[in-house]
Amino acid sequence: MWRITNQAISHVPKDEQYSEYEGIRLPLHTAKVVEDLKTWEVRHDDVWIITYPKSGTIWTQEITSAVMHDGNLDAIRARHVLFRVVYIDKTLPAEIRRLKNVPDSHRLAEEISSPRVLRSHLPGPLLPLQLWEKKPRIIYVMRNFKDVAVSYFYFMKMAINDRATLNQSFGEFLDEMMSGKVPYGTWWEHVLFFWKRRHEKNILFLRYEDLKADLRGNVEKICNFLGKDLSAASLDAITQHCSFTAMKSNPMAHIDLIFDRQGLPEDVTFMRKGEVGDWKLHFTVAQNEVVENHIEEKIRGSGLTIKS
C-alpha cells in the first residue's frame, strides 16, 4: 500500500495548504474540486456520510460499508476503506495519483456502480446541488465541539506537519477553531445546517456520544435507515467489527498506516482515543467557560442539545 510521507509536506507552511471558498477555509485539494461538485451528478440510491472533521467519520463509514455489504465482513476486510467509501470532496495527493494513476475522487466515483457510499466534510451550502433535489440517504454525525477540538488539534499536527503547527498550543488552535480559521469552517454552522433538516426522511442525524453509549443499537438504526434486513447475528458481528479497538488494529478500516509517522509525537495518530469527554484533560477552566458561552450563543433557539 502507498504511504504519505511527512517529508513530502513538511516544507509547505500551513497557510499555503489552504484556500478560501465563499468565505470558508478549505484544504487546497478540496478547494480545487468544490466548484465541480456544485453541478456533480448525484444518484438517488447514493448513501452519503457527512460530518464535521473528527466527528466519527471513519467509524460511521465502516459501519455503513458493512451494512451495505449485507454484513459480509470478509468482503470489506479484503478491500481498503478508501476504495469502499469515496471521500468525494478531496483529491488524493499528487504523489499518490501519479503512483496509482488514480483520478480525482469525484471522477473516480462516477465509475463506481450503484449503490455508492460517499463521504464528505463539506458544509451544507457547498455540497452538490442535486443532493437536495434527488434526496439520497444522508447520515450526518455530530460530536461534542470540545471533543472535536481536541481530536482536530492532534490530527492537524499529523496532516499539516509544518513547524508552526507542530509547535502550536492547544489554546492557539482553539482560538482558530472558534473563529472558523480551520478547514471546513465553524462547527456550529456545519452542525446546525443538518440539525434543522433532521426530520427530512432521507436524513439520519446521529450523535457520536450515542454511538459510544450503544453501538449495537445505532448499528441497527443505520441498518433500518438503509433499508437492510440483517439478522441479529450479523448485527452483532458488525458491532464487534466496528468497535474502536477492532478498527484501530484493522489496516483496511482507516488511513493511519499510509502515513509515515517519522518525527511525529506518539500521541499523533489518525485514530487516537475515540473517547467521550477527553476534552476534560485538555481544557482549562477559563477555556471551558469561554467555549460554553460561545456555543450557547451560537445554537440558542435551535433546540440543539450537546452531550458531553
| Nearest-angstrom CA–CA distance, 23 and 302 | 23
CA distances from 122 to 31, 52, 205 (A): 10, 8, 16
| Gyration radius of the chain over CA positions | 19
Least Cα distance to 195 among 87, 26, 52 occurs for: 52
Evaluate the omega torsion of the peptide bond into residue 115 and state whether it is cis, within 30 degrees of 0: yes
Q: Does 121 participate in catalysis according to the annotation? A: yes
Between 285-299 and 145-159, two packed helices, what is the crossing angle to 10 degrees?
A: 110
β-strand pairing of 24-27 with 117-120: unpaired
Between 145-159 and 170-178, two packed helices, what is the crossing angle to 10 degrees?
A: 110
Q: Is 110 exposed, middle or buried (0-12, 13-18, 19+ CB in 10 A)?
A: middle
Q: How many CB atoms lie within 10 A of CB 243?
A: 12
Residue in 11, 29, 69, 121 annotated catalytic: 121
- Three cell numbers, residue 22: 465563499
| Nearest-angstrom CA–CA distance, 293 and 291 | 5
Which distant-in-sequence residues (6+ apart) come within 8 Å of 101 by Cβ?
A: none
Which distant-in-sequence residues (6+ apart) come within 8 Å of 247 by Cβ?
A: 58, 59, 62, 241, 253, 254, 271
Catalytic residues: 121
